[in-house]
Structure 1
Amino acid sequence: MNNKEQILAFAKERGIEHFIHFTNVLNLPSILSQGLLPRSTLDYNLCDYIHNDDLRLDGLEESISVSITSPNYKMFYKLRCDNPSQNWVVLVLDATQILNLDCAFCYTNAAHSSVSSISLSERRKYSTFKTLFNERQDKPSRSEMGLCSYEPTDPQAEILVFNSIPISAIEFVFFNDGDIMEQYAPLLNNANIAFKREEGYYYPRHDFRFWQ
């Protein structure tokens, strides 16, 4: 098998079905029109959008960040605290479609020096993808933390996608505010994308106490 086939087979073996991307709800109309676009593409096309990360410390504005199975709750919580007047939406993406794109794998936050020091060519490899599920010497075992096979060890692990993500990859949209959901319901119905109020994605992952 080639590198891509190994990545897809490994994801299937571990039961990885969904990737997660959160964004300001005001971005939803353009996402439902164009799909998810990297910041560099949005800027080049002079698109009007609201970005999550002012600094984008990983320096890779040509990529879209997604997480595996659940949001990077540390970042998501900070963003919501820093912007209390804003509303957010969680997009649940089809993992197979994403993994068929150009992806780089990061065992923790992509801006962390231990990750940014690894070349992108190395981060694109199947062998690197597997490291997202390795035991961590500085933490209890995955079993002790109660992690499922499809959950990366570090809750801040992420995948950088160096393509646009098509609308067809969006399987569900989750809101934490019923009134906001009703405002966007017609758009989502027109796009034939399932949605509901689901606050679970707005809370920390179940093993948060080990990562405080």
Structure 2
Amino acid sequence: MNRDEVAAVASTSEYMNRQKAKRLPARHRISYATTAGAVGRAMARKKTYGEKIADHIAAVVQARNIEHVLHFTLLENLPGILRNGLLSRAILQDADYDVFASDVDRLDGEDGAISVSISCFYPKMFDAKRYRSGNAPWVILAFDPSLLWTHHCLFYRNGASTNATKYEHGKRYGGFALERLFDDCSMMMDPRGTGFREAHGLPTGWPTFPDAEVQVMNPVHPDYLLGAWVETPEIGDHVRKAFDASGRDQCDVVVQPFVPRICSKPYWWG
């Protein structure tokens, strides 16, 4: 290459691009700068680890046809929830409005978590809380299941404070942790080899064990609310008015007793 050719090349990188292009057919010629730009755009489109986890959880929810996430609470807490959503005990300690706790402390000690359940509630725990609260009215709120992947959630096959959970290993977050809530198990002393889920007639979107729990580690906005389940028409009217007054007239109100919907001793799913 003579001096004139050298002078015509503005920089070393440009020269290398030209030399590289000479070795390729015209239709394949592309500068390094263009290649770097394409790689950069491809990397920008690559999903993050968190997005992949969210996609997996969403896929499980869809495959299982999970329609709602439940949270039971004293009816007195409904106005605060309609304004501020579901908040953890840690946050509610500084709330500027009245909050009514069902127990003095959480059994698992996780004051930064909000406990919810998938598709059904745990009758044994709910009945115990209602008994301790006397005649106070309760409401079971239904939330959109998308919160399972839009919020940081921990999934427990059994209650978070149980011995079964204490000795269980594995990650609590992500799609695989959610899938474990629906893992089947064989029925002991069953010559037919019937699975636990089939034997108890569980729908695909109901966890295998009734005390399965989800801990939501972020506040849940009231826009996730889908509706409420109450026991009496009078409470239903009260909740309906509260929904309408807060601009949530699209939320449904179901009136029926708080009794297990699946009873198969010694297990009950509410």
TM-score past 0.5 threshold: yes
Instruction: Answer yes or no: is the 8 Å Cα contact 1:66–1:160 preserved in 2.
Output: yes
Q: Distance in 1 between matches of 2:68 and 2:254?
A: 18
Q: Is residue 154 of structure 1 aligned with residue 154 of structure 2?
A: no
Could you list the per-position Cα deviations for residues 81-112 of structure 1 after superposition, in whole angstroms to 9, with x for gaps in the alignment?
A: 22231000110110013431010000011111
Q: Which moves more between the two structures, 173-182 or 86-95? A: 173-182
Q: Identify the match of residue 26 of structure 1 among 62, 65, 76.
A: 76
Could you tell me which runs of 5 or more consecutive residues in structure 1 were left unpaired when the two chains were aligned.
none
Q: Secondary structure at the match of 2:185?
A: coil
Q: Is residue 141 of structure 1 aligned with residue 191 of structure 2?
A: no
Q: 2:145: which partner in 1?
A: 95
Q: Which moves more between the two structures, 139-148 or 191-200? A: 191-200
Q: Distance in 1 between matches of 2:233 and 2:217?
A: 33
Instruction: Answer yes or no: is the 8 Å Cα contact 2:144–2:225 preserved in 1.
Output: yes
Q: 2:127: which partner in 1?
A: 77
Q: Distance in 2 between matches of 1:5 and 1:19?
A: 18
Q: In structure 2, give the amino acid aligned to 1:198.
A: V
Q: Secondary structure at the match of 1:27?
A: helix
Could you tell me which runs of 5 or more consecutive residues in structure 2 were left unpaired when the two chains were aligned.
1-50, 189-194
> Post-superposition shift, 1:183?
2.9
> Post-superposition shift, 1:54?
2.6
> Post-superposition shift, 1:150?
0.5
Q: In structure 2, give the amino acid aligned to 1:127.
A: F
Q: Is residue 41 of structure 1 aligned with residue 91 of structure 2?
A: yes
Instruction: Go from structure 1 to structure 2 and tell me whether the alpha carbon gap of 1:81 and 1:128 turns closer, same or farther (over 3 Å shift).
Output: same
Instruction: Answer yes or no: is the 8 Å Cα contact 2:187–2:196 preserved in 1.
Output: no
Q: 1:3: which partner in 2?
A: 53
Question: Identity of paired residues, percent?
Answer: 27
Q: Which moves more between the two structures, 51-60 or 159-168? A: 51-60
Aligned-residue RMSD, C-alpha: 2.2
Q: Is residue 195 of structure 1 aligned with residue 252 of structure 2?
A: yes
Q: Distance in 2 between matches of 1:184 and 1:206?
A: 26
Instruction: Answer yes or no: is the 8 Å Cα contact 1:17–1:96 preserved in 2.
Output: no
Q: In structure 1, give the amino acid aligned to 2:244.
A: N
Q: Distance in 2 between matches of 1:125 and 1:9?
A: 11
Q: In structure 2, give the amino acid aligned to 1:122.
A: K
Q: Secondary structure at the match of 2:61?
A: helix
Greater C-alpha radius of gyration: 2
Q: Secondary structure at the match of 2:134?
A: coil
Q: Normalising to structure 2: TM-score of the pair? A: 0.71
Q: Secondary structure at the match of 2:200?
A: coil
> Post-superposition shift, 1:136?
3.2
Q: Distance in 2 between matches of 1:109 and 1:131?
A: 13
Q: Distance in 2 between matches of 1:208 and 1:64?
A: 28
